[in-house]
Amino acid sequence: MKYFKKMLPTLRDYLLILAGAILQAISLRVFLIPAKLASGGVTGLSMLLNHFTGWPIGTMVLIGNIPLFLLGWRFLGGKRFAIKTAFAVITFALFVDILVLIIPVQGLTDDIVLNALYGAVVSGIGYGLVYRGQGTSGGSDILARILNNWRNISMSQSYLMVDGLVIILAGFVFGPKQALYALITLYVSGIVAETVMEGSSVIRTAMIITSKPEEVSGQIMENMSRGVTMLTGKGAYTGEARAILYCVVIRSEVAQLKSIIHEIDAQAFMVIGQAHEALGEGFKPLTRG
């Protein structure tokens, strides 16, 4: 029983990677390939080679990832990186070539806008699930992370460099219209992947400087059932020690928070920020992924 519980998170990771890789393959076969939208990476290069040679896209994706896989083993974590990445790439490549036997070559629609948007959403969900399973999808994923680690280039710039080059090449082969829509697909899929990976809930953080910290924090805890952390600060101009209150609320509670502070100390100073996720008491439980 203990062994099963220990293995449960690993099993969950592989199920997420499996589901994500299948969704990426579906997106490619149903939307992106019929519309000739090569949105970057090894998959985009494989689409270009397929256009000229007719070689199976999935097989070329697998072959193209081998040198990147070896680089990833060297620079991104050895065995732990390799197993999950290999599983994701092999699953994706396998289903890309299997689905060609099931899905019509022309896809579901000839509308390039629908293909770009639906392809982006489905593939973005797939990427997000793979990331949540602590895996990578190979290809530009590996190159972007290597550039980030090796040259300290940001992940966004790394992806832009790697995928942008492939999209430019695709523009010469499939036409500028397809290249422009491929850029939209790349951008939207990134947003969707981030949402799936981090969650869509946007919460608010509040820092409050008040002369009545005990009263304000007491009302927040009593009326809103939210925790408050009291920090100690010092005014740069006056040199006086000041209490700073820090709390996290959901978006709909901001108005109530403002009202409480205004009633107790109308001269208080408050800064409201935005955070992507809150984990722990009062919010979602803290989990590993």
Domains and CATH numbers, the chain: 2-198 (no CATH), 203-275 (3.30.70.120)
Q: What are phi and psi of 59, to 5 degrees?
A: -65, -40
What tens digit of pLDDT does each residue of 118-137 get? Answer: 999 999 999 889 888 878 78
Tell me the average pLDDT across 100-112: 90
Residue type present at position 281: E
H-type alpha helices, 28-102: 41-53, 57-75, 78-99
Q: Which two tokens stand for residue 16?
A: 């997420």
- Residue 57: pLDDT band with limits 50, 70, 90: very high
DSSP class of 134: T
Question: Is the pLDDT reported for residue 145 higher than 80?
Answer: no
Is residue 268 exposed (0-12), middle (13-18) or buried (19+ Cβ within 10 Å)? middle
**Average pLDDT of every residue of the chain:** 85
Report the 10 Å Cβ neighbour count for 27. Answer: 26
- Spatial separation of the C-alpha atoms in residues 107 and 214, rounded to whole Å: 63
pTM: 0.76
The per-residue pLDDT for range 83-94, each reduced to its tens digit, is 888 899 999 999
